[in-house]
A and B are shown apart, each in its own frame.
Chain A
Amino acid sequence: MSSLVRPLALLLAVLVAVPTRARAQVPPDRHIHGVVEDAATRRAIRDADVFVETRGEATAQPVVVRTRSDADGRFDVRHLHTPTVRLYVRAIGYAPSDRIVDLRDDDVVVAVRLVPAPTVLAAVTVTADTLADRLARVAAVSALDARTIAATRGQTLGETIRQLPGVATIQFGPSISKPVIRGLNSQRVLVMNSGLRQEDQQWGTEHAPNIDGFDADAVTVVRGAATVLYGPDALGGVVRVDRAAVPDSGAMGGDIATNLFSNSRQGALSIGVRGANLALPALGRVGYRLRLTSRIAGNGQAPDYFLSNTGFRELNGSAALGVSRAWGRGELLVSRFATELGVLRQAHAGNFDDLQRALTAAPRDSAFSYGIGRPNQRVAHTTARLRVVRDLAAGQQLEFVYGFQFNDRREYDNHGPLRFRNVPAFHLRLFTHSLDARWSHAPRLGWRGTVGTSALAQGNQTIGKAFLIPGYDLWQGALYAQEEFTRGRLSLTAGARTDVLSQTTLAFADLGITSPAGTRRWTGFSGSFGGAWALTRDLDIALRVARAWRPPTVNERYAQGVHHGTAQYELGDAALTPERSLGLEGTVRYRGARLVLDAAAYSNGIDGFIFLRPTDPVLTIRGAFPGFRWSQTDARLRGVELAGSYQLLDRLQATVNGTLVRGTDRTTGAPLFDMPADRVTIGLRTTGSSARLGRWYAGAGTLLVRRQDRVPTGTIYALPTAGYGLLALDIGTGGLALAGRRIDLSLSINNALDHRYRDYLSRYRLFVNDPGRDVVLRVTTPF
């Protein structure tokens, strides 16, 4: 369900795109039908792409239904629940048509007359390139569309989604940002990138998702367990990053996007090209989409000093080819993400004494620099994906996705004589093959849904000069079904999944460290059941129960080594058993004429919760380190999320967005690690549109974060962090007319008052303040 606390800009977009808001009481089931014709000859156009997008009052999420015109140019889309829809029609050789259709009028046939043109495709993204999941109605889901992403894009992907309710990030300065959903992160939050499970050593909190923030046309966050559709690592939630489908009509077009960040003096440039005018032998007409992105950032800047060695560089590229035929669609995507990033020097300790000294020393100013020294990370992630969708009768679809991913991670430390520092301390190479097949079947006895199977084969190599985790092989197979039943005001969803995992670790015996070989196999079941009930036209409630499980990962079972930045010595436990969760969540959605409100509350019990328990200090030749052993306990996570907006005046809107999480160790009553502090964002926004300025907006918001005093004792994390408040300002427009072009422009000022603060989830908070004022300019120019 959605949070309709979606970002302000999206609300704006909705308000502008759907100027005629429904006022009348109307029956919920509507349909649209029409005919596509050539504007000049009035001849029917067959096989035109017809997209019907419902958004606004009655549905939380924009839903896009896609169909094609038949031989007579006709199309018909049923079961629509909004008073107005957006109708987007395109056909090869014609300019696309994009309009709002009011369905409250009597049964009219909509005539879509397309003007012949060798057109440029509209830059607006209408469909994502993967099947939407069927959780949206009963689960807590929030989404960012392409326009919002472009207007709010942060230094990293994590920074972009941090604005959503229930989402926080673990930060290692500006360069590493790891999503936290409802207090869970890393191996419990699955990142799906264009339909592939992102396999990039995600267990490490300082391993950020290796995804190009510019190569995302939609980001969706599912809060709470979504293991039925996504597998065990979605126990905490899912971040879905989707790209637009490769165009199947239109000439070449594209965009140039520039982002400038004052704080780290970051410059980011991304160039995208797309079209469908490529003719290949044997394949015929082929659509394509290319993107190349580069970012260069220097040291971040706290209000009184620069953060030494926190710069980063990215060079990313992707290329996709797609065909769209009568049988369906096929798409090949190849992408590469490569980054080099620095780790704050002060946070890198030789031993616990060094750490204590770093904690008590005043932060040193360091000059601004784009240079990256030790310690640092170099990571490259290469992906190849082949996707085939077969359209079957009665709206059924078969989807196959094969993916190959290669993640190459090198981490360099700063120990020992110089020559050792050019050899990575940790060098991990992860190879992943995956194959997914899904069948979206036609309604049967009122149920419609998806049945799927998933297979994954993974191998890890450990090569660096130090040991952290062993090499391993992982095999995984799954079978699942997610079904939805709708009758009248009631809608039910049910899902079930079985996973089998086999984990084989390779023996390691070198440097005095031994790690045994062994194979473990686990089988587990996930299930979910939920219902949504529309009490009135404006109000609906939903309830969902989800059962999930997750086997221990290799690092939890076999880690032996020091974690950079925290000087904590982590020790795995091979005897760990899977953790199992049972979660209950309720959501309430209100869509009034002025007030829009979404609230969610949940309680999630996790038995055998795997976490790092403080243990005896580990003595080494380098001195003593605080010891942490992966252990299990029974935990409970509870929380409330609230998101709403109120239309104060025609052009003035107030928004609020708050998140509260309580994580508790049920056996001791102690708080859990890494829980985000309570926070609320309050904003005011004014919007408008004109021919010259486009759809403009201006807003101000404040983020208020309460003191985090629920911290576990006995560790260096036992330091509470103070509360803080930050002011953000932003102004921008979509479609500014300039030199004959339509330019998207936005200017944001984050932490406008240059406030000194340390967030509880900032891993550098023990040493330095979080970054100060950041002025961000974003310009996107289509061509």
Chain B
Amino acid sequence: MHRSTSWKVAAPAALLLALAGCGDSSTEPGGESELITRVTLTLTPQGGGAAQTAVINDPDGNGPQAPQAQTGTLSLARGTTYTGTVRFENAVASPIEDITAEVRAEANEHRVFYTASTTGVTITTTDTDGQNRPLGLAFTAAVGATAAQGAGTARVLLCHYDSSPKVGTATSCTGETDIDLTFAYTVP
């Protein structure tokens, strides 16, 4: 009996060791990125002139590191209206993925909201989705002749709608926020 007992201990132990070899965790974690890591604003004066570009990079996207400082400066001249576009990219993918096209393809589910902090600077969405609701990938920024001078910020918020309906007249996101960044500009 003693003999058979020790056999019973040994057999499952051997089985355990044998099976422990399979299904282990040696697979490196890793995955497909869903990220938007870079947002680019481009402003072109409607009367002609050089386009200005500002970029905010956040290589870890939803990760714990805060977005990096903005590169490129935006200088908004009083009395000028700018044509603007926004570009969303996954810059950590190789090659870099343009997410803007996907947002456009799903225009009925998305909207970009803009908020300028300066009195006298008005941002207006100029493109629409399939149901004639604002989309926001294209916009104009009108800087009034009497707009307050100095530093200002423009908040860019990409909202997507799933359970909640997209309402064309809404002035803020009522869906879920995919992007929420603040760009700096100056009004000289």
Contact = CB atoms under 8 A, between A and B. Distances in A.
A binds B: yes
Interface of A: 308-309, 345, 348-351, 353-354, 357, 364, 366, 373-374, 386, 388, 390, 392, 398, 400, 402, 404, 406, 414-420, 423, 425, 427, 431, 433-435, 437, 455, 457, 459-467, 470-473, 506, 508, 510-513, 560-562, 569, 571, 618-624, 627
A470 B28 CA distance: 9
Contact of A400 (B9, B20, B35, B178): B9
B180 A622 contact: yes
Contacts of A402: 12, 15-16
B49 interface: no
30 contacts: A349-B177, A350-B175, A351-B180, A354-B176, A366-B163, A374-B162, A390-B8, A398-B8, A400-B8, A415-B160, A416-B99, A418-B109, A423-B31, A459-B24, A463-B30, A465-B31, A465-B34, A467-B31, A506-B25, A506-B28, A508-B29, A511-B35, A512-B58, A560-B64, A562-B62, A620-B62, A620-B64, A620-B67, A622-B62, A622-B178
Contacts of B24: 431, 459, 473
A417 B32 contact: no
B157 to A, nearest CB: 8
A466 B25 contact: no
A472 B25 contact: yes
Interface residues of B, number: 59
Contact of B163 (A373, A416, A433): A373
Most chain A Cβ neighbours within 10 Å, of B62, B63, B109: B62
B145 interface: no
Contact of A623 (B9, B92, B180): B180
B23 A400 contact: no
A512 B178 contact: no
B170 to A, nearest CB: 12
B19 interface: yes
Contacts of B177: 349-351, 353-354, 622-623
Contacts of B56: 621
B173 A354 contact: yes
- Please provide the 5 A-B residue pairs with the shortest distance between their CB atoms, ordered closest to farther: A512-B60, A623-B180, A459-B25, A350-B177, A350-B176
B169 interface: no
B95 to A, nearest CB: 16
A621 B58 contact: yes
Given A460-B25, A506-B29, A621-B62, A404 B176 contact: no
Given A398-B8, A462-B29, A406 B176 contact: no
A329 to B, nearest CB: 13
Contacts of A621: 35-37, 39, 56, 58, 61-62, 67, 179-181
A386 B157 CA distance: 56
Q: Interface SS of chain B: helix, strand, loop or mixed?
A: loop
Contact of A618 (B37, B59, B64): B64
B34 to A, nearest CB: 4
A512 B60 CA distance: 4
Contacts of A465: 31-34
A46 to B, nearest CB: 21
Contacts of B164: 364
Contacts of B8: 388, 390, 398, 400
Contacts of A348: 176
B16 A417 contact: no
Contact of A471 (B28, B58, B60, B99): B28
Most chain B Cβ neighbours within 10 Å, of A349, A351, A398, A622: A622
B112 to A, nearest CB: 13
Contacts of B36: 416, 621
Contacts of B151: none
Contact of A463 (B5, B31, B65): B31
A460 B25 CA distance: 5
Given A471-B29, A512-B59, A349 B176 contact: yes
A273 to B, nearest CB: 28
A417 B102 CA distance: 6
B127 interface: no
Contacts of A472: 25
A414 B159 CA distance: 12
Given A510-B33, A561-B62, A621-B58, 7 more contacts: A459-B24, A470-B29, A508-B28, A510-B30, A621-B62, A623-B177, A624-B180
A471 B23 CA distance: 12
Contacts of B32: 423, 465
Contact of B63 (A423, A433, A512): A512
B19 A619 contact: no
Contacts of A404: 19
Interface in B163-188: 163-164, 173-181
Contacts of A434: 16
A560 B63 contact: yes
A569 to B, nearest CB: 7
Interface string B28-60: 111111111101000000000000000010111
B121 interface: no
A364 B37 CA distance: 33
A430 to B, nearest CB: 9
A211 B9 CA distance: 29
A464 B174 contact: no
B163 A431 contact: no
Contacts of A464: 31
A415 B176 contact: yes
Contacts of B59: 512
B123 interface: no
Contact of B5 (A364, A390, A415, A619): A390
B69 interface: no
Interface string B2-13: 000100110011
A734 B109 CA distance: 54
Contacts of A354: 173, 176-177
Nearest to A509: B30
B163 A345 contact: yes
A414 B162 contact: yes
A419 B16 CA distance: 41
Interface string B73-108: 000000000000000000010000001001101100
A466 B61 CA distance: 10
B27 interface: yes
A508 B60 CA distance: 13
Most chain B Cβ neighbours within 10 Å, of A350, A402, A455, A506: A350
